[in-house]
Structure 1
Amino acid sequence: MEPYVTLNIENKVGYIEFYHPNRNSMPSDILELLAQTIINAGSNDGINVIVLKSGGDRTFCAGASFNEIIAIENEETGFLFFSGFAKVINAMRKCPKLIIGRVQGKSVGGGVGLAAATDYCLATQYAAIKLSELSIGIGPFVIEPAVSRRIGKNAMSQMTIDAETFFSSEFAKEKGLFSEVFETVEELDYAVKTLVNKLASYNPKALAEMKKVMWEGTDDWDRLLNERAKISGTLVLSKFTKKTLKRFR
């Protein structure tokens, strides 16, 4: 199947789904399309609440596209690539609609950032999480503010330092990334639909005001995440990182 980002509206709920055949990894074009789709859904009066999900029944999101990272040859290209994640997170942050995450499987790197940038996140028992960036010579700089905001600086640091370990969905729930964890995808989907149908029936103005309250103190993220993208864009050019990435070619 070809990569895609879709928006389907049902009963005032906007279902945004992204997909890539390589474990739902995120190349630049998909990041750009996802950010724009979130912006469009946020301005659509026919949508009261948004669900963010990925296609397939396995990995939720494998993070950055290694093929594209390997091809980066200068700082400008590196910045542009990593700023793609910044654009998505900021689009989610500034979206006036609540965004509910539906995480059916594992998340790595930027995928953890996407889950953290939702306003409420539900997952299955298979939704382990990993921040692997240090192990390849960079770091989770762009997504760190979103991840730390959800699970705390200590848990973020633990995951970052233990970069080759998948942390369980129960760990993610305990730390606050996931609100509920379900045994099956079917149970997850039932819970998501039940929740968003309730939310869609609430006063949309109250939901929008609540969203502002939930994201207080993040007004500097446009600048901050771009600064972090520059750090990653520089580090990805280092000899260490280039050598390490060759293993994933």
Structure 2
Amino acid sequence: MTDPYVSFNIKNKVGYIEFFHPNHNAMPSEVLQKLQHTIVDAETSDAKVLVLKSGGDRTFCAGASFNELIAINNEATGKTFFSGFANVINAMRKSSKLIIGRVQGKAVGGGVGLAAATDYCLATKYASIKLSELSIGIGPFVIEPAVTRKIGVSKMSQMTLNAEAFYTAEWAKTNGLFAEICETTEALDETVTLLAEKLADYNPEALQEMKKVIWKNTDDWDNLLTERAKISGKLVLSDFTKETLKRFK
């Protein structure tokens, strides 16, 4: 696989949304837009439950595209760039369908945000997580509400301030991000499929009402995440961040 894509397939009433980028599943704006639209479009599909997954065997998602990050030269472009993950998280939040996360490998930055925005997340033992944004002069402002909602302010702060450290999948499970840990990708796929197909046979009205309960008190996220995107869009133009990003050219 060399070309980025977002795909959607339905099997046994389960809708599988898969994204891929050859650079460790880092997400440029174009892929994020396609992912957002796919989640929104799945609302009118025959799928009863959704699964969010990424292609490849290793990294689940390396976060935002650094190539695009480096190219930002004004606040408006910065806000648009950082709104990418905001739009995906809000699409997941507002979907009436339960979304199961399938995390086969490492998740960094925005990748942690995607995992946190699922309703039930399963992972392999290789799925360590990191919030690295502060180390390059910005912060996980857009994804913070989703992450904090799952693991709490204390653990989110710990990850954010210890920005160069990976936290193990077991740590993520202990602190509420992952519900289950599997030994292999094959075992993960079996567990995800079993759970998703079981849920797809439950009362759809009950599932929709449960989704509302899970996301209670998040109605302000459209505005909140947009404001957070503006903060990051401004910080990415700072001298500190520009100097730091030169290392990645």
Q: Under TM normalisation by the shorter chain, which class is it? A: over 0.9
1:152 counterpart SS class:
helix
Alpha-carbon deviation of 1:90?
Answer: 0.1
2:17 counterpart SS class:
strand
Q: Identity over aligned residues, as a percent?
A: 71
Tell me, yes or no, if structure 1 residue 144 matches structure 2 residue 144: yes
Residue number in structure 2 paired with 1:23 = 24
Residue number in structure 2 paired with 1:41 = 42
4+ residue runs over 6 A deviation: none
Cα deviation, 1:105-155, whole Å, max 9, x if unaligned, reads: 000000000000000000000000000000000000000000000000000
Letter of the structure 2 residue corresponding to residue 40 of structure 1? D
Residue number in structure 1 paired with 2:155 = 155
1:112-151 equivalences under 5 Å are 112-151=112-151
> Equivalents in 1 of 2:184, 2:85: separation in Å?
29
Residue number in structure 2 paired with 1:190 = 190
Residue number in structure 1 paired with 2:54 = 54
Aligned residues: 248
- In the superposition, the TM-score normalised over structure 2's length comes to 0.99
Letter of the structure 1 residue corresponding to residue 233 of structure 2? G
> Equivalents in 2 of 1:197, 1:79: separation in Å?
38
Unaligned runs of 5+ in 1: none
Alpha-carbon deviation of 1:205?
Answer: 1.2
Alpha-carbon deviation of 1:43?
Answer: 2.3
Tell me, yes or no, if structure 1 residue 63 matches structure 2 residue 27: no
Alpha-carbon deviation of 1:76?
Answer: 0.3
1:187 counterpart SS class:
helix
1:138 counterpart SS class:
coil
Tell me, yes or no, if structure 1 residue 4 matches structure 2 residue 1: no
Letter of the structure 1 residue corresponding to residue 135 of structure 2? S
Cα deviation, 1:70-125, whole Å, max 9, x if unaligned, reads: 00000000000000111000000000000000000000000000000000000000
> Equivalents in 2 of 1:43, 1:75: separation in Å?
35
> Equivalents in 1 of 2:144, 2:117: separation in Å?
10
Residue number in structure 2 paired with 1:166 = 166
Alpha-carbon deviation of 1:42?
Answer: 1.8
Letter of the structure 2 residue corresponding to residue 50 of structure 1? L
Residue number in structure 1 paired with 2:242 = 242
Q: Which moved more, 1:196-205 or 1:54-63?
A: 196-205
> Equivalents in 1 of 2:53, 2:247: separation in Å?
29
1:101 counterpart SS class:
strand
1:163 counterpart SS class:
coil
Residue number in structure 2 paired with 1:84 = 84
2:156 counterpart SS class:
helix
Residue number in structure 1 paired with 2:176 = 176
Unaligned runs of 5+ in 2: none
Alpha-carbon deviation of 1:207?
Answer: 0.5
- In the superposition, the TM-score normalised over structure 1's length comes to 0.99
Alpha-carbon deviation of 1:57?
Answer: 0.3
Alpha-carbon deviation of 1:204?
Answer: 1.0
> Equivalents in 2 of 1:182, 1:43: separation in Å?
32
RMSD of aligned Cα (Å): 0.4
Residue number in structure 1 paired with 2:232 = 232
Residue number in structure 1 paired with 2:15 = 14
